[in-house]
Amino acid sequence: MASHRRPKQPGQTRVTVLTATAAAAVALSAQSASADPLPDPGKKGAQAQVDRLYEEATQATEKYNGAKETAGKLEKEVKDLQETAARKQSSLNGLRNQVGSIAAAQYRSGGLDPSVQLLLSSDPDGFLDKASAMDRLSAQQVAALQQYESQQRGLQQQRREATEKLQDLQSVRKGLGDRKKEIQGKLAQAQKLLNTLTAEERARIAEKEERANRSSERVQLGNEASASQRAAAAFSAAKGRVGLPYVWGASGPNSFDCSGLTSWAFNQAGVSIPRTSQAQANVGTRINSLSALKPGDLIIMRTDLSHVGFYAGNGQILHAPKPGAQVRYESIARSGMPFMWGVRI
């Protein structure tokens, strides 16, 4: 089997391996997101608590990513509704001038038709029901009044929809802020716990991470082909990001959370997939067996579907695992996260 070697990043120096302590501090000022194995129930002390906090932070990150994606869609919908309302208002202003001309003509000819009076009032709804009052208007005038009333209704509806979307957007933005505070709070707790460790304990944690990164450089992937050209192209893009840091909420090109890596990689292949691991779990074709996976297939992990990576071949996953880690290859069996299913795109 072929041995994987980390590709050289163009124009970049080699990413220095972060210690767990330093990475946690960086995560507070930058942005990080996605998956840490469940701590062994038998483990005790600060390290087990740090593991738990990191996992909770990565799970909260996927919810943050989902809310951010929703906010982006709502912002576009609000903008579109407001632009449509502005166009309708402009058109309505022109029709109002026509209605004014009708009113002026009728006034000069002996009085203002009651239907026109009603239309020009603050509540023109129902003016067409006044059929008996329409006999003094020409067919062309009636058509102009009908068009005016129809567009006025449309404008009111457009403005109501925009107001409702704005309220939804405000609610989602508040949720984003709350989720961000939650993530930063958990990372701050983890940092505080790491600060209670001795220098020897911190060095041991850093060495564990460094071993994982070194193992990633020597991983044996085999030569199995991807199931599709799209998956092969996305997987190739992700392989080029090995060694870059995990950062919550990041989607490349120089830092990633778990779903940020997979969505970025597929985007490089010209394929748009959802931003979050939960949404990515429900696209493409589901593959229920690990043995049926091909390199470039997505791997959905954890019962809440809060982690995702690429199947890399030979039982390995390529992913952005957790705060303090780098994009790397790891054994699926040793990840500590239950495999749910694969997704083929």
Which residues are tagged catalytic? Answer: 258, 307, 319
Show the tokens assigned to 231: 């998956």
Q: Which residue in 20, 88, 25, 77 sits closest to 51, CA to CA?
A: 20
- The whole-angstrom separation of Cα 308 and Cα 110 is 77
User: How far, CA to CA in Å, does 11 sit from each of 14, 15, 88, 252, 314?
Assistant: 10, 12, 51, 16, 31
Show the tokens assigned to 90: 């402009």
Place of tokens 């500590």: 336
- The separation between the first and the last C-alpha atoms of the chain, rounded to the nearest angstrom, is 26
List, edge to edge, every strand of the sheet that includes 307-313.
Answer: 285-287, 339-344, 298-301, 307-313, 316-319, 328-331
Residue pair 257/247 in contact by the 8 Å Cβ criterion: yes
- The whole-angstrom separation of Cα 240 and Cα 310 is 13
Which residues touch 5 (CB under 8 Å, ≥6 apart)?
217
Collapsing DSSP states into helix, strand and coil, what is residue 281? coil
Q: Which residue in 313, 317, 323, 320 sits closest to 338, CA to CA?
A: 317
Instruction: Return phi, psi of residue 45, to 5°.
Output: 90, -170
- The whole-angstrom separation of Cα 161 and Cα 155 is 10
The upper half-sphere exposure of residue 191, i.e. CA atoms within 13 Å in the direction of its Cβ, equals 15
- The whole-angstrom separation of Cα 12 and Cα 185 is 32
